[in-house]
Amino acid sequence: MSPVATRLVSVLGAECTGKSTLCPALATAEGGRWIAEYVREFTVLHDRPPHRDEQAHVIAEQVRREQMAARAPGWVFVDSSPLMTAIYSIHYFDDRSLLDAALAHQRTYAATLVCDTDLPWIADGFIRDSAAVRARCQTLLRASLHEARIDYTLVSGDLMTRLATARARLAAVDPISSAPR
């Protein structure tokens, strides 16, 4: 029997789309690990969202944490990737400078899951803006993935439906390690 490889799975979506709920649920269901979104930690630590000149730092720290998690085999579910930071840089700062590198990094994941906007938008202090910002960023995200020809699976519905959709995608990536438990 061959050793289990590390498989990083990117879980994307605009604000308030259920990424932070889906990642730990997937980690539990698959016996894997998950990495929390660094930008949330940054925002809490600094009591504000990152400025334009801090976006590259946010990306670098997220990637560093992914690399640390990838040292052990199995599934690793990444709550957002550098692509979401690049999308927010476009939205907030009209800055597309991070997009190409973020898309190149996005291609390194074993799978990309995009959480749909079918959940209610809920205010969360200064970390979330509005349902309108969520819709615009989701449109930017999906258009960027489409234009870059990066395959993704849209996950919608309640948590159980999202889990089933995500696990079906993982089974297509690796049918042996994603077998029902």
pLDDT computed for residue 5 by the predictor: 84
pLDDT computed for residue 130 by the predictor: 83
Q: Which residue in 4, 3, 61 sits closest to 32, CA to CA?
A: 4
Q: Is the pLDDT of residue 179 over 80?
A: no
Q: Is the pLDDT of residue 3 over 60?
A: no
CA distances from 92 to 55, 61, 153 (A): 11, 20, 26
Give the single-character DSSP code of 5.
P
Give the single-character DSSP code of 14.
S
DSSP per position, 87-137: HHHHHHH---TTHHHHHHHHTTSSEEEEE-S-SPP--BTBS---HHHHHHH
Q: Which residue in 137, 120, 19 sits closest to 79, CA to CA?
A: 19
> pLDDT exceeding 90 applies to what percent of the chain?
73
Tens of pLDDT along 23-38?
Answer: 999 999 999 999 999 9
Domains of the chain: 6-173 (3.40.50.300)
- Listed ranges 37-51, 117-131, 152-166; the one with the highest mean pLDDT: 152-166
